[in-house]
Structure formats: structure tokens, C-alpha cells
Amino acid sequence: MSWLERRRQRVKTYRVKDFLLREKFRRDYQVIGRFLLRNLSFESVYDVGCANGFLLSEFLAADKRCGGIELSPAVREVLPQELQPLVEVGDFSTARGEWDLVCCVEVAEHIPPERSRDLVAAVTGLARSWIYFTAALPGQTGRGHVNCRPHEEWLSWFDEAGWQQHDTLTLRLREELEGLDSAPWLRANSFVLFSG
């Protein structure tokens, strides 16, 4: 592997300015959070790669027990005060607990390819009932996209771990995301999974 390829695969943590630039996505994440609240039964939720805490803010406002993890320590400067004690700084592999719903949004394409199955194992190890997962397809541009792969690969790994796509909920969510303002890619990248 060349020096350039190794550099492209290195995980880059966000800085404060990167998190601040993400604020334009808040409304789109609210649409997702509200859909999940209306359509899934859960009391606890964990967000792997929670970034600014957009989803967690929705769930906390609905009185759900919340937790999350974010790789970048800079997240401490942008998280709302009420989420500070609920979010750990660390790698997804250090996440712990059992949660009714686990969300993992736009994380998969940012990790080294050889850690793909580790991410699936971490997410499925945390979840009891539901998973909301997104992953970028090959060719989707974006900062730090080093692991864009066909959705079928992710779904096959989830299947091996005993989790299947909920076809009806995935379709309904994608329909609801039809008019996303700032993050339209989330529509095609979104999956609702359940434990089979």
C-alpha cells in the first residue's frame, strides 16, 4: 500500500469548526429522529458516532434513556449541556451497554475498510431490538470517505449477526426523507434493522 493510500485510510477526527459546519444538517436529523420515535417502540437509545447530538437531542426531549460515543474530543465544545454527561469520547469499539435502539449514522464510510465487520459487531452487540444504520455507497463523495461499499455487503454482515432489514420501515423512512434539505444522501443510505 502506498503512502497516499495509507494517508487516505487514516481516520481523521473532526475539529470544532467541522462540527459547527454540520449544524446545517440538524433539521434533516430531526426528521429522522421523529420518524424513529413514531414508528419504533424503544425506551433507550445509543448513538455510535453521535457528532453534534442531533438525534440524541430528539430522543432526550422524548424522555428516552440516551447514550452515545464520538471519536473526536472536540465534540465537547459543541454538544448541548444536557448531552454532555451522556456522551463518551472514544472509538466505537469501546461502547458498552444494552440499548433498545442503536443508531449509527454516516460512520461506516469513515472507518478503515478492515474494521467494517468490527463496526457491525459493535453495533449489534449494543442493540436489543432495533438498529438505524446508514452507509455511503461507492462513489459518494465526502470528507474522509475511505470505506464506501455496496449496501449488500453491510446487510450480509448484519444478517450473519442475526439482524435483518425491516423492508416496510426502511421504505417508509426513505419516503419520509424524500425532501431532505441539506443531507439528501441519507435517504438512499438509510436502513432500519431488527433482530431476527
pLDDT confidence of residue 138: 95
pLDDT confidence of residue 196: 73
pLDDT confidence of residue 3: 40
| Domains held by the chain: number | 1
pLDDT confidence of residue 115: 97
Question: What Å distances lie between residue 181 and 28, 30, 31, CA to CA?
Answer: 7, 12, 10
CATH number for the domain harbouring residue 20:
3.40.50.150
Residue ranges in the chain modelled with pLDDT below 50: 1-9
Phi, psi (deg, nearest 5) at residue 143: -65, 125
Which three cell numbers mark 80? 448541548
- Rounded Cα distance between 193 and 134, Å, is 11
Residues paired with 127 in a beta bridge: 99
Question: What Å distances lie between residue 145 and 10, 15, 27, 157, CA to CA?
Answer: 10, 16, 23, 20
**DSSP letter assigned to residue 133:** E
pLDDT confidence of residue 11: 52
- Rounded Cα distance between 153 and 142, Å, is 20
Contact 58, 30 (CB under 8 A): yes
Which three cell numbers mark 97? 451497554
pLDDT tens for 72-101 read 998 899 999 999 999 999 999 999 999 999
Phi, psi (deg, nearest 5) at residue 57: -60, -40
Residues for the chain: how many in total?
Answer: 196
In percent, the amount of the chain with pLDDT more than 70 equals 93
- Rounded Cα distance between 155 and 164, Å, is 7
Closest listed residue to residue 14, CA positions, set 78, 57, 88: 78
pLDDT confidence of residue 9: 44
- Rounded Cα distance between 57 and 100, Å, is 17
pLDDT confidence of residue 23: 83
Give me the domain span that covers residue 87.
Answer: 3-195
pLDDT confidence of residue 8: 45
pLDDT confidence of residue 46: 98
